Structure 1
């Protein structure tokens, strides 16, 4: 979970709790293109996912209406970029993937990253805000934490940034109140570089909504930030928008009908997706499975009141098997299977069938 705390000067300084890069089998790690695709796609949602969000209304994380409205506006701003994800507010926390709380007492903001949200118990928040979101700075915080929800990482840890830190100054700054971080925590939150496969692009975007403000005296190089510090605008940058549309393109082909016992081939590049409509003729347990040498994410949804609701999923990335889902399907109902290719393998062709 990414955590943001207020420093002595009242400015937020954000870092990630250490999330180790997945250890890949030797055969996979030996293929740089495949390894980069798997690590880069880790935690990203399938496109056209409907993310349901809900607010805590009582207890420690109860969120005031004006703060909730600021988060709603941030969701709308991300959607306005033209991405293929949808955000739907629901009244019950148990029905939401994204559960949002607010706590001035904690004085920190936090969000799990991408599909890691699904591992959080449904009684706990996945995203917490710790200060006023109605100010310009607070609006940037709202956008930033939702960037984590989309699967974005911190920009100040981009290895392409060329940042050289005054390391002892950073340790001293974050080792004191209110953060009181250990040296290890500070290293993993600020000084450690992300693997190149996890960054948004080939260059550092100092204006990214995922970049946070640092005061003077913490950055040695680039020299311009040593004296005046680094102050991003707190808005979605052009690169932020480009990243979001790349991972979640708004334009989409109509889903194809997939009949039982018939394979549907799909020639997809890394990051591309195909959707299929399933209308079973009998009620029983079915097996939905991919074939081919690709690394793939396979998801199953049921259409309820015109909206896809998640049922199950499987990701075979870096494993010597195919993605497969076994689930009972009912005659007369409509389901959607989504296939997102992480790495296309040698043939570049993947197929889906159910039986």
Structure 2
């Protein structure tokens, strides 16, 4: 196989869990830490598509942007409960895409893209996406990270035993020229077992790198033949994202009344949606109650599209999620609460006041 360039993720946000937390609770938090609430619309923007004053190296040529657009459509075509739409104002975008060929290809993972500055890239492409099919593979892979997927070869269930010095030498040479810490973070380091679903490894995943023969000691067949994924979405990829982001139902969310607590029973990974229609303009609080870890997100409906206003994640903390925001009479808002884990019997509840 050719010497491909590889995705190099930026440093990821560390989750610090309190001492004494149960294994089940910790696993639920780690598994969902990067995932979006379902039915979220993520807007993407190409640097240079307007006169935005970005560094010239960030500007995305039209032909490169076309490959990325097609990759977004491939993920959307799975019918998942995440939606992608292109915008032409940088300030409206959660996903901001550059084409700096001196900076490699990468994306922040899942909700970590929200930690990037409003004028910064959350995704970059570092080589010609139109040269061959690997360009499409690269675009699908980076969008997979934005959805919240880790590198598959870092799956602890893969059973990969690397010839580490050969890996360092291979990735330290052209065309990647990686320092050892980048190679460790993107290849040799195992992600927590809590961050993966199931107990197997998918060598055909779009999140799997291809590697030449000789870098893997075990399993033996990959030592002799290397790892050569097809570069498309595997059946396991499709099953995984449909589980996390099931297709949207047709039922309308329940209307949440002020000062009226709404009790719900959720399993880990499930969410509840509400609409809010404030009777007066003032500052409000929206919160969750109960012995649970939740992520709570508030959206405003603008011209039929939901725009995120605020969010809070109480996972691993001795508190409940709480959002404070000014809401306006006559406007419509949507609240989504997704459960990581509940450690006592009984319902979780949501209220605004």
TM-score by length of 2: 0.94
Please point out which of 317, 323, 330 is paired with 1:332. 330
Please point out which of 244, 256, 261 is paired with 2:241. 244
Say which SS state the counterpart of residue 20 (structure 2) adopts.
Answer: helix
Say which SS state the counterpart of residue 12 (structure 1) adopts.
Answer: coil
- Asked if structure 1 preserves the Cα contact closer than 8 Å seen for 2:42 and 2:83, the reply is yes
- Asked if structure 2 preserves the Cα contact closer than 8 Å seen for 1:15 and 1:190, the reply is no
The CA deviation string for residues 226-270 of structure 1, in whole angstroms up to 9 with x for no partner, is 122111000000110111111111133421000101011110000
Counterpart CA distance in 2 for 1:64 and 1:101 is 10
- Asked if structure 1 preserves the Cα contact closer than 8 Å seen for 2:8 and 2:105, the reply is no
The equivalent residue for 1:84 is: 81
1:121 aligns with 2:121: no
Counterpart CA distance in 1 for 2:70 and 2:287 is 39
The equivalent residue for 2:301 is: 303
Counterpart CA distance in 2 for 1:127 and 1:17 is 10
Counterpart CA distance in 2 for 1:288 and 1:107 is 41
1:185 aligns with 2:182: yes
TM-score by length of 1: 0.93
Counterpart CA distance in 1 for 2:94 and 2:6 is 26
The CA deviation string for residues 269-320 of structure 1, in whole angstroms up to 9 with x for no partner, is 0000110010010111011111110100111111100111111110110111
Counterpart CA distance in 2 for 1:183 and 1:281 is 58
The equivalent residue for 1:52 is: 43
1:170 aligns with 2:149: no
Say which SS state the counterpart of residue 6 (structure 2) adopts.
Answer: strand
Counterpart CA distance in 2 for 1:17 and 1:122 is 17
CA-CA distance at 1:144 after TM superposition:
0.2
For structure 1, which runs of at least 5 residues remain unmatched after alignment? 1-6
Please point out which of 37, 40, 45 is paired with 2:31. 40
1:158 aligns with 2:137: no
- Asked if structure 2 preserves the Cα contact closer than 8 Å seen for 1:107 and 1:131, the reply is no
- Asked if structure 2 preserves the Cα contact closer than 8 Å seen for 1:56 and 1:62, the reply is yes
1:343 aligns with 2:341: yes
The CA deviation string for residues 76-95 of structure 1, in whole angstroms up to 9 with x for no partner, is 11011111011111111121
CA-CA distance at 1:325 after TM superposition:
0.6
Shifted more, 79-88 versus 11-20: the winner is 11-20
The equivalent residue for 1:16 is: 9
Counterpart CA distance in 2 for 1:185 and 1:51 is 28
1:195 aligns with 2:206: no
The equivalent residue for 2:211 is: 214
- Asked if structure 2 preserves the Cα contact closer than 8 Å seen for 1:52 and 1:95, the reply is yes
Counterpart CA distance in 2 for 1:218 and 1:193 is 16
Shifted more, 180-189 versus 46-55: the winner is 180-189
The CA deviation string for residues 104-153 of structure 1, in whole angstroms up to 9 with x for no partner, is 3x161111111111111121111111222232111111000000000000
The equivalent residue for 1:4 is: none
Q: What is the count of residue pairs matched by the alignment?
A: 345
The CA RMSD measured in Å over matched residues stands at 1.6
- Asked if structure 1 preserves the Cα contact closer than 8 Å seen for 2:299 and 2:333, the reply is yes
For structure 2, which runs of at least 5 residues remain unmatched after alignment? 49-53
